[in-house]
Amino acid sequence: MDIYLVEALLNGLLLGGVLALLALGLNLIFGVIDVVWIAYAELVMCGMYVVYWLYGYYHWPLALAAVLAVLGVAFLGLLVHQLIIAPILGSPAINQLLATGGLLFFLQSFATLLFGTDFRNIGLRLPILEFADMSISFARLIAFGVAVLGAGALYAFLSKSFLGTAIRAIGQDREIVGLMGVDQRRIYLITSAIGGALAGLAACLLVLQYDVHPFIGLSFGPITFMICVLGGLGNMIGGFAAAFIMSEIISIGGFYFSQEIGEVLAFVVFIALIFVRPQGIFGRS
């Protein structure tokens, strides 16, 4: 097999890690609270700015900047729920979509107002790894490793802890969890914070590879939504798998044609699959 095709496959796999992390966050929030955060990728943008300013501009240690970005976006997630979602929780889904859609434009415009439209780079040059004639971006490798660790930690939390079990239970029966002593509002807040933290973690990984600007969310948002729908909305394992399918399509398409065509291909495959299986490839009808 062509060594460059192997390289493309490997890069696709590495790209998939971060996308999977974003899909997990979005699916978690949808599965628990039954809302879609249209502005999810814009939370990632906010996190990228945190790392940029703290590390790239003020030269704080990278690890500290990363931790603060994760915590900061987790808090932002909490605010999104408390200020935007909670007051309209009982209203039709379209209202919630419009409200978080409004947040998307607000965050984009606010970032533009504060920071302008410059593309900002944190100025960290990570090496390119060369082996067997393939070159693999170290930044991507780190991103993949951390994303998989993050997903694993989330899995362990959801399957082993009392809180995690309650988070999984609440989408199955919202009324009865109360009889178990579970305060629904508190679970929603915690879930929103976890969703935010995942976006913050993704931000730390993406800022190693991409410049941050107010519209960077558009590069990840639509693909993340496609992944979630493809995997079956709310289905975390389906979304995780779909992230790798999409990233491989982009990467292999990019190898044979160009990056743009790769993304076009991903959308085409998405549309075709949704015609065949509207509930997503891993969703139940």
Task: Select the residue interacting with another protein from 1, 114, 179, 276 (CB under 8 A).
Answer: 179
The separation between CA 98 and the C-alpha centre of its own chain, rounded to angstroms, equals: 20
The C-alpha angle 59, 41, 263, rounded to 5 degrees, equals 110
Q: Closest separation between CB of residue 155 and another protein, Å?
A: 14
Q: Closest separation between CB of residue 24 and another protein, Å?
A: 17
Binding to another protein (CB under 8 A): which residues in 133-172?
Answer: 162, 165-166, 168-169, 172
Name which of 83, 87, 96 is nearest 30 in CA terms. 96
Q: Which is nearer to another protein, 107 or 177 (CB)?
A: 177
Which span sits near another protein by CB under 8 A: 79-87, 111-119, 138-146, 177-185?
177-185
183 binds another protein (CB under 8 A): yes
Task: Select the residue interacting with another protein from 82, 184, 219, 279 (CB under 8 A).
Answer: 184
Q: Which is nearer to another protein, 187 or 202 (CB)?
A: 187
Q: Which is nearer to another protein, 59 or 186 (CB)?
A: 186
Compute CA distances 265 → 81, 149, 222, 245, whole Å. Answer: 34, 29, 14, 12
Residue 159 makes CB contacts below 8 A (sequence gap 6+) with 165, 168
181 binds another protein (CB under 8 A): yes
178 binds another protein (CB under 8 A): yes
265 binds another protein (CB under 8 A): no
Task: Select the residue interacting with another protein from 177, 193, 194, 243 (CB under 8 A).
Answer: 177
Q: Closest separation between CB of residue 170 and another protein, Å?
A: 9
CA 239 to CA 184: how far, in whole Å? 25
- Ramachandran class of 234: left when φ > 0, alpha when ψ lies in -120 to 50, beta otherwise: left
CA 270 to CA 40: how far, in whole Å? 20
Residue 23 makes CB contacts below 8 A (sequence gap 6+) with 224, 227, 228, 231, 239, 240, 242, 243
Task: Select the residue interacting with another protein from 1, 114, 175, 285 (CB under 8 A).
Answer: 175
Q: Closest separation between CB of residue 58 and another protein, Å?
A: 41
Q: Which is nearer to another protein, 206 or 236 (CB)?
A: 236
CA 13 to CA 35: how far, in whole Å? 29
CA 47 to CA 69: how far, in whole Å? 5
Q: Which is nearer to another protein, 167 or 193 (CB)?
A: 167
Q: Closest separation between CB of residue 55 and another protein, Å?
A: 39
Sign of CA dihedral 113, 119, 79, 61: negative
Task: Select the residue interacting with another protein from 63, 109, 173, 271 (CB under 8 A).
Answer: 173
CA 43 to CA 110: how far, in whole Å? 12
Sign of CA dihedral 13, 230, 191, 187: negative
Task: Select the residue interacting with another protein from 63, 83, 180, 237 (CB under 8 A).
Answer: 180
- Contacting residues toward another protein, per CB under 8 A: 162, 165-166, 168-169, 172-173, 175-184
